[in-house]
Chain A
Amino acid sequence: MKQQVLVLYLATSALDAAVVGWSSYDGTGRTHPTAGDGDEPPYATGVDALRDGWRLFQASQLIPPYPGHEYDTSFLKHEFFFEKMS
């Protein structure tokens, strides 16, 4: 059994929000995903990935901004890790 990992970045902290970014890593070695290899997300929302058999194993926490840095922007906030075993 090898792990395939899908990372979805969503528009809000809700799992049924729209996908705004995505990455994948393939432990089977059958595919070689890389930076800038597609313009269309694999799923429209996080829930759509669940419906297709992906198992959610990590979701980013909701962390309040550090005092004095409320308006800073940095990494994408709503990151969800999914897996499939094959």
Chain B
Amino acid sequence: MRTTLLTSAQVAGFVAAGYLRLDGIVPDDLNDQAIDVLDAGIPRVPYGTPVTQAFPKGSFARRLIELPQVAGALSSLVGPDPTIDHHAVHVREPQGGEAQPLHADAIIDTRMDAFDVQLMYYPREVTAEMGGTLVVPGSHLRRVNESDTGRYQNLRGQTRLTCPAGTVMLLHHGIWHGGRRNDSPVRRYMFKIRFNPTVPQVRLWDTSDLADPAVREELSRRFPWYEQATGRLEIHNRVRVWRALTADPTFDIDYWTTRVNNRPGRAA
């Protein structure tokens, strides 16, 4: 199986934004089969099932996650042999449904040195009218429990997903998101798979560009909805994640993390 590992800059972008977007990377032949497969349903598996058992070789889901770009990105983020937490087909009926409240999936999850990845696959083009997934960039490190964020309707810089057919998004487990109301005459399909890592998530990607200035640029990004002061804490928390992912306890942005831990001669 060929893979295309992510670069350090791409992984830094994931750490900053909480997601990675791969537009239109699934070939038409798979997209064309997707609707029938998703309508028929993909058998549920117990939580924590290895990929090879969850999705038999040659199955639709297995072919999807073995596409080189998908496999490379997954391997870069969760490593080899992740397990399937769960998967689900989400359908938004034409002119139907209410917008989901903004939420993070599952329950509050405070891991800073490990994370699950949720794959979202869109087999058809998603237009603005179809109410593509609402995603809030850079929200994944905020400690909130599920739909307690439901009060927030709109945040500056939010992404109201529109995308070509065959788009895959890979999201950090903590990202704030929600399915939007479908105001179009077309059914909207999304297939979601949650992956759990089974190895330490340390330097799993192509690290040959680790010193590239683009890494710092990505990790320094501020999103338009960040409050002035809390936005600084977001960068501090990304530094903590990046230190864990690279096993480099000296990495810093603007000296913030180093400064607040500098206590010469003091025990922890």
Interface of A toward B, CB cutoff 8 Å: 7, 9-12, 17, 19-24, 33-39, 41, 71-78
Contact = CB atoms under 8 A, between A and B. Distances in A.
B149 A20 contact: no
Contacts of B230: 73, 77
A21 B181 CA distance: 19
A71 B160 contact: no
Contacts of B255: none
Interface of B: 98-102, 131, 134, 141-144, 148-156, 158, 160, 178, 180-181, 224-230, 233-234, 236-237
Nearest to A34: B99
Given A71-B236, A73-B142, A76-B227, A37 B99 contact: yes
A41 B154 contact: yes
Contacts of A20: 155-156, 224-227
Contact of B158 (A33, A39, A72): A39
Contact of B234 (A10, A21, A33, A73): A73
B153 A73 contact: no
Contact of B237 (A7, A22, A41, A73): A73
Contacts of A73: 141-143, 230, 233-234, 237
14 contacts: A9-B225, A11-B228, A20-B224, A21-B152, A23-B151, A23-B154, A34-B181, A35-B150, A35-B180, A36-B102, A36-B154, A71-B236, A74-B142, A75-B149
Given A36-B180, A72-B143, A41 B156 contact: yes
A10 B231 CA distance: 12
A24 B98 CA distance: 16
A73 B139 CA distance: 9
B153 A71 contact: no
B144 A74 contact: yes
B154 A39 contact: yes
A37 B142 contact: no
A8 to B, nearest CB: 11
B228 A21 contact: no
A72 B233 CA distance: 7
Nearest to A20: B225
B41 to A, nearest CB: 27
A71 B237 contact: yes
B261 to A, nearest CB: 11
Contacts of A17: 228
A23 B154 CA distance: 6
Given A20-B156, A36-B158, A36-B180, A7 B99 contact: no
